[in-house]
Amino acid sequence: MKRRIFVALNLSDALKNEILDWRKQIKMEKDLIRWLKPQNLHITLLPPWYVESIDETTELLESNKNWVRPIKIHFDQIEFGPTLNYPRLIWAKGQSPSQILELKNKLEKILNQEPEKRDYLLHLTVARFRPENFKNFSIKKLGTEISWKDQIESFSLLESHLSPKGASYEVLLQIPLI
């Protein structure tokens, strides 16, 4: 059976707590939104792909792990996404530091992944909802300025387990940035 894996940047507990504090302040229809659990919050670096076995992928990551330093990130906006015409999530956005783009490019080469056609957008999904429910939201525009900062100390190879209640993620390998 094929496994759905991807590479993500790990967030600090401090940033996860800041996100939880923001969630408590927002007044939205809680029954229409699926907030991501703190352990599932991450920044996707390489989108999901399927493999028969994770052994080759973990070996490639393990043998190429000592070349990236910790990365400072900053999210400055939280809004509905991915577009205003078809909203289906709430996400935080920020400028992509060059170190993230370098890491992404190196990992694509190491793991033989096709680069995405679109430019990389630093974003962090905090909630998902069904697009048809958006019309029932009392808030139609977030556009909230935030200042969420973090230092990325590691990235992980994750396996995505999909279910009707949403995705959950299993950490298969964690690589520290040194």
Strand, helix or coil for residue 100: helix
Query: Which residues share a beta bridge with 154?
Result: 176
Report pLDDT digits (tens) over 1-25: 899 999 999 999 999 999 999 998 8
User: Which residue, chain included where needed, has tokens 């790990």?
Assistant: 10
Say how many C-beta atoms besides its own lie within 10 A of residue 106's C-beta. 13
**What is the pLDDT confidence band of residue 29, given thresholds at 50, 70 and 90?**
confident
Nearest to 9 by CA among 146, 178, 175: 175
Strand, helix or coil for residue 22: helix
Q: In this predicted structure, what is the pLDDT of residue 27?
A: 80
What's the total number of domains in the chain?
A: 1
Q: Distance (Å, rounded) from C-alpha 143 to C-alpha 24?
A: 17
Q: What percent of the chain has pLDDT over 90?
A: 79
What predicted TM-score, i.e. pTM, was given to this entire model?
0.92
Q: Are the C-beta atoms of residues 23 and 148 closer than 8 Å to each other?
A: no
Please report which helix (H) or strand (E) contains residue 92, including its range.
strand 87-94
What is the span of the domain harbouring residue 8?
3-176
* CB within 8 Å of 85: residues ≥ 6 apart: none
Say how many C-beta atoms besides its own lie within 10 A of residue 26's C-beta. 16
Name the phi and psi angles at 107, rounded to 5: -65, -40
Q: What percent of the chain has pLDDT over 70?
A: 99
**What is the pLDDT confidence band of residue 26, given thresholds at 50, 70 and 90?**
confident
**Residue 160 maps to which CATH number?**
3.90.1140.10
* Between 64 and 57, the higher pLDDT residue: 57
Q: In this predicted structure, what is the pLDDT of residue 64?
A: 76
Q: Is the pLDDT of residue 156 over 80?
A: yes
Report pLDDT digits (tens) over 88-144: 999 999 999 999 999 999 999 999 999 999 999 999 999 999 999 999 998 888 867
* CB within 8 Å of 30: residues ≥ 6 apart: none
Query: Which residues share a beta bridge with 12?
Result: none
Q: In this predicted structure, what is the pLDDT of residue 140?
A: 85
Q: SS in 3 state form for 139-167?
A: CCCCCEEEEEEEEECEEEEEEEECCCCCC
Q: In this predicted structure, what is the pLDDT of residue 25?
A: 87
Q: Is the pLDDT of residue 63 over 90?
A: no
Longest CA–CA separation in the chain, Å: 50
Q: Is the pLDDT of residue 65 over 80?
A: no
